[in-house]
Amino acid sequence: MTVNTANLNRWKNTVHYQLPSSKLVEQCLQRQEGELNDTGALVIQTGQFTGRSPDDKYIVTDTITRNTVDWNKFNRPISEDSFFALRDAMLAYLDKKTEVWIRDAFVCAELSCRISLRVVNENPSSNHFAANMFIPPDRQELEAFTPEWLIVQAPGFRAQPGVHGTQRQNFTIISFQHKTVLIGGSGYTGELKKSVFTVLNFLLPLEKNVLSMHCSANIGRTGDTALFFGLSGTGKTTLSADPERALIGDDEHGWNDEGIFNFEGGCYAKVIDLSETGEPDIYRAVRPGALVENTTFFPGSTTIDFTSRAITENTRVSYPLSFITNTIQNTQTGPPKNIFFLTCDAYGVLPPVSKLTAEQAMYYFLCGYTARVAGTENGIREPQITFSACFGAPFLPLASDYYADLFRKKIDLHGSRVWMINTGWTGGPYGTGERIKLAYTRAIVRAILDNELEMTAFKRHEVFGLFIPDSCTGVPTEMLNPEDAWTNRSAYKTAAMQLLDKFTTNISYEKRVSINE
């Protein structure tokens, strides 16, 4: 097969190009980078970093970004000189290696938005992750492949902060001028996918009028699309993997005037407490070709102990979309009929389900309230209250208002219904109350998708102004109004007002949007 070799012949070492996952797994085993579990999946450890390091992401300041990027703690500026110095140092570091792994791939199922990537990795396990997560070219596409973006990842390379302009030895640097991403000092594979997501969050809204979204998506038999927004650990992957609906994707999507399309070619699911009964599709995806991260085995076996938090809470598995039986791949679906905001409420005061007006949808989209679940970012040990604009602030190079305005235009154009689902606590805050059962959340989502909840009466919450259903099949009535689940109503109102105050303090949009409208 003839392959486009642009930039491939610069490498003086052995280049492992476009290897199948089976060969990458074989190499990982030979290099003792991982071992197989009893179902045949490769299990690795990512080293010091078992979650993203959002404070160590940089964007190069240049004529493209200087006046467009929303410079903040997630979008740290770095000079072009520092970028060049790091790029040259990384390439020199890789040149000294006897082997490198290179993969060509696409992102974006919608062809008008598709971008071609060349991913260069220091080890086969990271290249295996790229094979799972990005869209593979077919034979004809590969023969004519021309990479637009270069992604260079070297976990063993360490920056010198005093020389390279970084805070620490680990870093992710994006140059839009040079269409290059540099990732060094961290073996956490999630940095690969989220750096590319950041690139798309800049390019697609500005160039294509596409709303880029941190959400999962599925579609029903009647063609109704549903979106599930939420930060890691709130249930995006779990709730979108529905045996009665086809999975579009579990994490990153675009919304153009016609509808929804996936950015990726795979899934990256949390596996903490994974069970066949609770999440059967994900459980069965842990098989040959899957890449499992930072789990441990039961003593004396190669059976994964999914309950173990010995390494991290943020245990993960990546696998191609084809590992899920009921999927729609590399295509576009219609606009969403229902949109779910998944919120892990550590205060335990939000209802399990609320119907939102268009103004409330804008407000809560901008707030992106949840509790960061332990382990999804470096240093997080237990749920921490956070507001992440548009449910993805660490990945948004533009001002949050830009995405929120696009979101409002889309829901107005297509008449999408928006719901907030609390997957966190009820009956009290974290440490006192109980985590809402997954079975109840599934019942709520099912009632909405089946149009059952639209038929029931709603009442307005006195603190938040949200609309709460009187009943929902499969959910105890006393749970629907969160105040009824608390033994001390006065304590509930105090906690609710505390959270309301945090919303009011946080929201930069409050002069234009009221929480109770």
Per-residue pLDDT of 304-328, as tens digits, reads 999 999 999 999 999 999 999 899 8
Instruction: Give me the residue spans of the domains in the chain.
Output: 14-34+49-208, 211-267+329-506, 270-319
Q: What pLDDT was estimated at residue 374?
A: 52
224 belongs to the catalytic site = no
345 belongs to the catalytic site = no
316 belongs to the catalytic site = yes
User: At residue 516, does pLDDT exceed 80?
Assistant: no
Query: Per the structure block, which two tokens stand in for 436?
Result: 């809402």
User: Which region, left, alpha or beta, applies to residue 132 given φ > 0 means left and ψ of -120 to 50 means alpha?
Assistant: alpha
State the SS3 of 179-211: CEEEEECCCCCHHHHHHHHHHHHHHHHHHHCCE
Q: What pLDDT was estimated at residue 425?
A: 93
**Counting Cβ atoms within 10 Å, is residue 158 exposed (0-12), middle (13-18) or buried (19+)?**
middle
237 belongs to the catalytic site = yes
Q: Which of 68-82, 171-185, 433-447, 494-508 shows the lowest per-residue confidence on average (mean pLDDT)?
A: 494-508
User: Which region, left, alpha or beta, applies to residue 506 given φ > 0 means left and ψ of -120 to 50 means alpha?
Assistant: alpha
**Which range is most confident: 276-280, 444-448, 503-507?**
444-448
Q: What pLDDT was estimated at residue 383?
A: 61
pLDDT tens digit string along 251-291? 999 999 999 999 999 999 999 999 999 889 999 999 999 99
Q: What pLDDT was estimated at residue 13?
A: 83
Higher pLDDT, 504 or 22: 22
Catalytically annotated residue among 57, 118, 214, 337: 214
Q: Please name the fold of domain 270-319.
A: Phosphoenolpyruvate Carboxykinase; domain 2 (2.170.8)
Catalytically annotated residue among 57, 128, 164, 236: 236
- How large is the average pLDDT for residues 131-143? 96
User: At residue 514, does pLDDT exceed 50?
Assistant: no
343 belongs to the catalytic site = no
Q: What pLDDT was estimated at residue 190?
A: 95
CATH no. of 211-267+329-506: 3.90.228.20
- How large is the average pLDDT for residues 349-354? 96
Catalytically annotated residue among 46, 65, 116, 237: 237
User: At residue 510, does pLDDT exceed 50?
Assistant: no
Average pLDDT taken over every residue of the chain: 92
User: At residue 236, does pLDDT exceed 50?
Assistant: yes
Q: Please name the fold of domain 14-34+49-208.
A: Phosphoenolpyruvate Carboxykinase; domain 1 (3.40.449)
Per cent of the chain over pLDDT 70 is 94
- How large is the average pLDDT for residues 133-160? 96
Q: Which of 3-12, 33-42, 63-72 shows the lowest per-residue confidence on average (mean pLDDT)?
A: 3-12
pLDDT tens digit string along 88-122? 999 999 999 999 999 999 999 999 999 999 999 99
52 belongs to the catalytic site = yes
- The Cα 230–Cα 368 span in angstroms is 8
- How large is the average pLDDT for residues 393-397? 95
User: At residue 5, does pLDDT exceed 80?
Assistant: no
179 belongs to the catalytic site = no
381 belongs to the catalytic site = no
**DSSP letter at 407?**
H
- The Cα 107–Cα 327 span in angstroms is 17
Catalytically annotated residue among 251, 318, 343, 376: 251
Task: Please state the separation of Cα 171 from the chain's center in Å.
Answer: 19
Residue 328, helix vs strand vs coil: coil
Q: Which of 263-272, 337-346, 374-383 shows the lowest per-residue confidence on average (mean pLDDT)?
A: 374-383
Catalytically annotated residue among 50, 52, 234, 270: 52
Please say whether the beta carbons of 27 and 16 come within 8 A: yes
User: At residue 2, does pLDDT exceed 90?
Assistant: no
Catalytically annotated residue among 126, 175, 216, 232: 232
Query: Per the structure block, which two tokens stand in for 192?
Result: 């690969």
Residue 506, helix vs strand vs coil: helix
Q: What pLDDT was estimated at residue 439?
A: 93
Please say whether the beta carbons of 428 and 421 come within 8 A: no
What are the C-alpha distances in Å from 277 to residues 71, 273, 281, 381, 411? 44, 11, 9, 27, 35
What are the C-alpha distances in Å from 7 to residues 90, 120, 147? 15, 11, 9
Q: What pLDDT was estimated at residue 6?
A: 45
